[in-house]
C-alpha cells in the first residue's frame, strides 16, 4: 500500500504586513495576526526564561498566540499561562502544523539576528 499523501495547509494573507489565514488539513480556518515586539515579549514572559530560550517551546507558544479566530469564533490574545495553554489545546496538532511554518518564516525574516545582539552588547559596553 502506497503512503497517503498529506496535503499542505493553504495560506492566504489579508494585510500583507501582519494578518494571515491558514486552512488546516481538517479544514479548520484559522485567522491569525503576527505578533508585534511587545506581544512577543508578553508571550516570553508568560512562558518564562527557560522555555522562551527553547526554540521549540517558544515556537509553540508564539504559534498559539498568533491565532485570533478559529472557524469564525474569536480567540483572544492570551494574557495568562492558562489562557495560553487553552489556546494550545484548542489549536491541536493540525493547527500547529498549519501555523508553525508561517510563524517560523516570519520570525526568521523579521527578527533580530545574533549579530544585532552582539552589536548592541558591544555598544553598551563601550558606552560604560
Grid coordinates standing for 14? 489579508
Q: For the residues 51-70, what does the mean pLDDT come to?
A: 94
Q: How many CB atoms lie within 10 A of CB 49?
A: 9
Domain of residue 118: give its range: 10-127
Weakest mean pLDDT among 32-41, 43-52, 73-82, 114-123: 114-123
- Is the confidence at residue 8, as pLDDT, over 90? no
**4 part of a folded domain:** no
**1 part of a folded domain:** no
Closest CA to 99 of 59, 127, 43, 72: 59
Residue 84 · residue 46 · CB < 8 Å: yes
Domain count, the chain: 1
Q: In this structure, which long-range contacts are made by residues 85-91, counting pairs with CB atoms below 8 Å and at least 24 apart in sequence?
A: 88/60, 88/61, 88/64, 91/30, 91/63, 91/64, 91/67
**24 part of a folded domain:** yes
**76 part of a folded domain:** yes
Amino acid at each position: 500500500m502506497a503512503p497517503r499523501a498529506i496535503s499542505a495547509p493553504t495560506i492566504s494573507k489579508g494585510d500583507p504586513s501582519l494578518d494571515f489565514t491558514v486552512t488546516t488539513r481538517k479544514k479548520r480556518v484559522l485567522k491569525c495576526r503576527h505578533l508585534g515586539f511587545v506581544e512577543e515579549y508578553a508571550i516570553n514572559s508568560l512562558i518564562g526564561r527557560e522555555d522562551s530560550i527553547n526554540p521549540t517551546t517558544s515556537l509553540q507558544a508564539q504559534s498559539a498566540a498568533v491565532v485570533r479566530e478559529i472557524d469564525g469564533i474569536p480567540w483572544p490574545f492570551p494574557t495568562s499561562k492558562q489562557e495560553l495553554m487553552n489556546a494550545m489545546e484548542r489549536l491541536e496538532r493540525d493547527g500547529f502544523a498549519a501555523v508553525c511554518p508561517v510563524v517560523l518564516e516570519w520570525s526568521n525574516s523579521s527578527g533580530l539576528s545574533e549579530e544585532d545582539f552582539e552589536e548592541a552588547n558591544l555598544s553598551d559596553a563601550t558606552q560604560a
